[in-house]
Amino acid sequence: MTDHAHDHDHAHDHDHDRTVKPMVEEITDFEVLEIALRELCIEKGIFTAEEHRRFTEFAEQIGPTPAARLVARAWLDADFKALAIAEPMTASKEVGVDWLEPTGFGTPSDFTAFQILENTPTVHNVIVCALCSCYPRPILGNSPEWYRTPNYRSRLVRFPRQVLSEFGLYLGDDVEVRVQDSNQKHRFMVMPMRPEGTDGWTEDQLTEIVTRDSLIGVAVPKAGVTTNVIVDTRAAMHPVGE
Amino acid sequence: MKAANEMDDQMDDVKIPALEEIVDRNQVWSRMAAKYGVENPVPPWKTSLDGLCDALDQASCDPNGSAVMGIPDFKERRDEEDTLSATVYADLPYPENQLVALAHSLLARGVISEGELRQRLSSIRTRLEA
């Protein structure tokens, strides 16, 4: 068969209509609004198109994989684990995250410190930002919607076990729950304990089960579980105005 | 230009018809994605909105710029988003509520006028549909 004949046959072997992912085929008001705000801000000199492009690229490429790999490596290498606890920013660099230049062109926050909170059989850590929604974005990606809500932020501080149970995480009375409040200067992530049933696993295999939720502390890793919990987003119990 | 604390108190009292019309048309991502069989959990403009918020936050840290232009700092922006998402835009899902709340903040603060927003919405739609 010639190359041409091969291409020809290939073209008829598949239903290409079905292999192209569907897309929204109309211009939505929200899409137009986002562009309008951006263009007007640029025209008013609030920021430049180049600054916006760089921040958008940063938002596109971040995710929880570096943090998951850091934890997996720490589970396999005691020296690296010690480094992660003692010098978390040095350990972060080894998984490709430079906290002092997370975007490669500076950072809008006045960030000064990053800390990794180690879970033990008697201590479980969970992070929040009670004030707004500070989150270790360079190493964990964008925060989930529920993390941003006033409901999670206020209730986790007051009723941590109740909130964790809503994520399906029930901790015994012998486990102390520590809620760590993030802010613009200090960011945190949780180093969960390595679960049973993972003996002999490689770093890549372990990385897959270190989920975003387990790095926030609303879940613990389990062999075979690689997805996050889907929770309802609740309105605040005492909304503005009450 | 109003003071920041006064601004936050009054934020949800400000009516912005141009944004109300967008809310009424209800082209939220969950509905549009279902209509066209799209699986992405968030709309394609979300990362650009994240970039916009980061760029605004960076600008608000500039001591020479923010006070003059009235743009919210990081905490004001998030506080106003929370207030507006729980009140005026309580029926909008995320991240549409984040986007419309940001627009509301910028208009209520006088950073952008409703007239210029309307004009820009129209010209962008014309451009995209050309």
Residues A69-107 pLDDT 10s? 999 999 999 999 999 999 999 999 999 998 888 777 666
- For chain A, the domain total comes to 2
C-alpha B103: how far from its chain's center? 3
Cβ of B27 within 8 Å of Cβ of A30? The answer is yes
pLDDT computed for residue B63 by the predictor = 65
CB contact under 8 A, B86 and A41: no
Cβ contact (<8 Å) for B86 and A21?
Answer: no
Sequence-ordered alpha helix ranges (H) in A134-235: 137-140, 145-148, 150-158, 160-166, 203-209, 212-216
Count of Cβ atoms closer than 10 Å to residue B62 Cβ = 14
Tokens representing B99 are 């986007």
Same domain, A20 and A73: no
Of B48, B56, B86, the CB nearest to A235: B86
More confident residue, B97 or B14: B97
- As a whole number of angstroms, the distance between CA B64 and CA A119 comes to 44
Q: Do B121 and A38 touch (CB under 8 A)?
A: no
> What is the share, in percent, of chain B residues with pLDDT greater than 70?
88
Question: What was the pLDDT predicted at B32?
Answer: 94
Interface predicted TM-score of the whole assembly (ipTM), two decimals = 0.93
> Which positions in chain A touch B75 (Cβ < 8 Å)?
131-132
List of residues 6+ apart from A38 with CB closer than 8 A: A52, B48, B52
Q: Is the residue at A242 inside a domain?
A: no
For testing contact with chain B, the best of A23, A27, A32, A232 (most B CBs within 10 A)? A32
Q: Say if residue A78 is in the same domain as residue A154.
A: yes
Residue A199 near residue A206 (C-beta atoms within 8 A): no
Per cent of chain A over pLDDT 90 is: 69
**Do A148 and A82 share a structural domain?**
yes
pLDDT above 90: residue A23: no
Contacts of B46 (CB under 8 A, 6+ apart): B95
Q: Does residue A117 lie within any of the structural domains?
A: yes
Residue A200, in any domain of the structure:
yes
pLDDT recorded at residue B11: 82
CA A46 from chain center: how many Å? 28
Indicate whether A6 pLDDT > 50: no
Q: Which is more confident, A214 or B60?
A: A214
Domain region containing A53: 3-60
A35 & A70 share domain: no
Active-site position among A92, A129, A182, A214: A129
A35 domain-assigned: yes
A126 has which bridge partners? Answer: A179
Q: Does A132 qualify as catalytic in the annotation? A: yes
Predicted structure pTM score: 0.83
Last-in-domain residue among A27, A60, A93:
A60
Give the separation between CA B70 and CA A138, rounded to whole angstroms. Answer: 28
Whole domain around residue B78: which residue ranges? 16-128
CA B25 to chain centre: 16
Rank A3-12, A130-139, B16-25 by mean pLDDT and report only the highest. Answer: B16-25
User: If you count residue pairs, one on A and one on B, with CB atoms under 8 Å apart, how many are there?
Assistant: 157
Query: Residue A116 is inside which H or E element, if any?
Result: strand A113-118
User: Would you say residue B111 lies in a domain?
Assistant: yes
Residue A143 to chain B, least CA–CA distance (Å)? 11
Q: Do A53 and B100 touch (CB under 8 A)?
A: no
Distance CA B42, CA A30 (A): 12
A133 is annotated as an active-site residue: yes
A89 contacts: CB under 8 Å, gap ≥ 6: A99, A100, A114
Reading the block at residue B95, the tokens are: 């991240």
**Counting beta carbons within 10 angstroms of the beta carbon of residue A239, is it exposed (0 to 12), middle (13 to 18) or buried (19 or more)?**
middle
Q: Which of B48, B55, B74 sits opposite A34 (nearest CB)?
A: B48
Give the count of alpha carbons within 13 A of B3, CB side only. 2
Indicate the pLDDT class of residue B60, thresholds 50, 70 and 90.
confident
In a domain, B99, yes or no: yes
Residues A79 and A106 in one domain: yes
Looking at the 3D structure of chain B, how many domains does it have? 1
Name the band, by pLDDT with cuts 50, 70 and 90, for residue A238. Answer: low
Distance CA B56, CA B50 (A): 10
Q: Is residue A197 pLDDT above 50, yes or no?
A: yes
Is B8 among the domain residues? no
From chain B, the residues in CB contact with A32 under 8 A are: 121, 124-125, 128
Please report the pLDDT score of residue A118 as a whole number.
98
Do A22 and B74 lie within an 8 Å CB cutoff?
Answer: no
